Amino acid sequence: MFKLQTAVWLVLLLAIGALIGCGGGGKSGDDDSGADDDTSIDDDNADGDDTVIDDDTVIDDDTTPDDDTTPDDDTTPDDDAVDDDTVVDDDTMVDDDTVIDDDTVVDDDTVTPQGCDEGEFTPYYGDLHAHTSYSDGQLTPADAFPYGRDVGHLDILVITDHLEQLYLPFPNNRYGLCKLAADANYVAGQYVADCGFEYGTGFTLPFFQSTGHANVFFSEDLFPILQLDFHDFYRTFVAHPTVIGQFNHPGDQPTQIWNNWEYFADVDQNMNLFEFNSDPAWGLFFDALDAGWHLSPTYNQDNHSPDWGTANDHRSGLYMSNLSRDAMHEAMQSMRTFATSDKNATIRLMAHDTCWMGSMLSVAEFPTITLYLEATDPDPGDGYVSLSLYGPGQTLIEQHDCAGATTCTDTITVPVSGPTYFVLRADQTDGDYLIAAPIWLQ
C-alpha cells in the first residue's frame, strides 16, 4: 500500500510540475500600440517566454512522458521495443526541430522573421497634402483630380482641405462633394483620387501658438470643428481605428512639434506618416523617432494654387501591391513609404533581403542585421553622391560613395546590442534627396 501511495503522489507531483511548466508567457513590456503587435507570429519580443511555443518543459519535458524513475527505470533493461526513443522521446518525433522548435522559425530565410513585412511592391508617386477653394486654395476638387492625373502625372492625389473651413459656411457638404469628385476620378489600377482633411486648431497658451497640423486619411466623416487642445484631437483620432494620420510640415513654426513629440502609444498605432515639407524636418524626424513614434517619411506640395503635381517635384513614394485605395491604406499602415524631392527617383531599405522598410523586427532574433541599401533614378543626369545610413540620435552609421551613379547600392551588416532603428538617406548630385522609412529592432 505504501508503494502504491508513493507512486500515486509521484504521478500527482509530476502532473502538477507539467501544469506549472505550461504557465506564464503573457504579453509584457511591448506595448507596440497596435502597429507592431508581435503576438500574431511568435512574440519572443512581447512575452520573451519560449514556454508558449518551444519550451521543452511543455513539449518534451523528460520528467513527464519519459521520466526514467517511473516507466523506464534504468535499473531494468531498456529494450527499445518497450521504450523506443523513436516513439516517445525521439527528437525526430516529439522535439524534432523541423516540426516544433526549428531554428528556421527565427533565422531561416525560408520562414518570415517576426515583424517582417514581405512581398512584391511597386513604387507609386503621390501628393498627399493639397487644398482647393473648399478651404484656402483655388478651384474645386473636381478640377484638381483630373489636373493632378493629366498634367501633374501623379499616380495618387489626396485633397486635404482644412477641417475647420470645410464646415463653413454652415451648413454645407463640402467634404461629401470632395468625395463625389474623388469617386468620379478614381480608377483602380490607373489613378487613386481620394479626400482627407487637415487638422490645425491646436494651440498653446497664453499666446495661442500652433502646436501642429496633421492630415487625416480614410475618415468617413469630419472630426469636430474645433479641438483647441491637440490631446482632444488625439482622442478623436484614436476613436476612429481605420484612419491614418500624418504630421504635417513639422517645425514650420517653432511650436509645431506637438509638445516636443509627446508620445502616446494608442495614437502611434495609426499616426504613421511624417511630412518633410519644412526646413527642420530632417532633424525633427529623429526627435520624433527617439521619442518613440513609429513614422514613415512623405514629401508633398501643400498646394494652395491650381498646380497639383506641378508646383514642384516633391513626391510621396508608396510601395504598393497595386494602385488602389485599399493598397494605399495598407502601404501607409505598413509604413512602406519614402520622401523624395525628385519626381521619379526611388529608394529602398531592406533587411535580410526580404524585410521591407517599415518592418518592426524582434531584437531577440538578430545579434546582427544585414541591410540592403538602394537608390535609383531613370534620368541619365540624376546620379547619386552618397547613401547614408543613420541610427538613433541622427548618428551616422555608414556612408557609401555612389560616385555619381544613377543606381547606387550597398550591403552592410550591423551588430545589434539592443532596441534600435535605421534610416536611409540618398543625396543626388543636383541637390535632391530621398529618405526611406526606418526599419526597427525592438
Q: What is the mean pLDDT of the chain?
A: 82
Pairing outcome for strands 156-162 and 122-127: parallel
CA angle 68, 72, 78 (to 5 degrees): 120
Give rounded-to-5 percent helix, strand, coil for the chain. 25, 25, 50
pLDDT attached to residue 110: 56
CB-based contact 247:214 (threshold 8 Å): yes
Does 325 or 205 have the greater pLDDT score? Answer: 325
**What's the Cα-to-Cα distance from 268 to each of 11, 112, 295, 334, rounded to whole Å?**
50, 24, 8, 12
pLDDT attached to residue 170: 87
* Residue 218 DSSP code: S
- pLDDT tens per residue, range 354-376: 999 999 999 998 899 999 999 99
pLDDT attached to residue 112: 79
CB-based contact 327:321 (threshold 8 Å): yes
Place of cell 508646383: 311
pTM of the model: 0.76
Three-state DSSP string of 293-318: CCCEEECCCCECCCCCCCCCCCEEEE
Give the helix/strand (H/E) hosting 142.
Answer: helix 141-150
Does 186 or 36 have the greater pLDDT score? Answer: 186
Place of cell 543625396: 427
Residue 245 has pLDDT above 70, yes or no: yes
- The CA distance from 251 to 239, in Å, is 27
Mean per-residue pLDDT for 64-82?
A: 39
**What's the Cα-to-Cα distance from 347 to each of 97, 246, 403, rounded to whole Å?**
38, 20, 17
- pLDDT tens per residue, range 379-416: 999 999 999 999 999 999 999 999 999 999 999 999 99
In the structure grid, which three cell numbers stand for residue 210, read together? 500652433
Query: Omega of the bond prior to 254 within 30 degrees of 0, cis?
Result: no
- pLDDT tens per residue, range 79-107: 443 333 333 333 333 333 333 333 333 44
Could you give all domains of the chain from N- to C-terminal order, each with its CATH number?
Answer: 1-106 (no CATH), 112-340 (3.20.20.140), 344-442 (2.60.40.10)
Burial of 242 (0-12, 13-18, 19+ CB in 10 A): exposed
Burial of 143 (0-12, 13-18, 19+ CB in 10 A): middle
Residue 186 has pLDDT above 50, yes or no: yes
Residue 433 has pLDDT above 60, yes or no: yes
Nearest to 32 by CA among 41, 20, 24, 23: 41
Residue 285 has pLDDT above 90, yes or no: yes
DSSP E strands, 200-303:
203-204, 209-210, 213-217, 244-248, 271-275, 296-298
- pLDDT tens per residue, range 153-167: 999 999 999 999 999
Crossing angle of helices 141-150 and 174-185, rounded to 10°: 30
The residue type of 101 is: D
Listed range (65-74, 287-296, 331-340) with the worst mean pLDDT: 65-74
CB-based contact 77:329 (threshold 8 Å): no
**What's the Cα-to-Cα distance from 274 to each of 41, 207, 228, 271, rounded to whole Å?**
28, 26, 22, 9
pLDDT attached to residue 294: 98
pLDDT attached to residue 21: 35
DSSP for 347-411 reads: EEEEETTTEETT-EE-GGG-SEEEEEEEEE-SSTT--EEEEEEEEGGGEEEEEEE-TT-SEEEEE
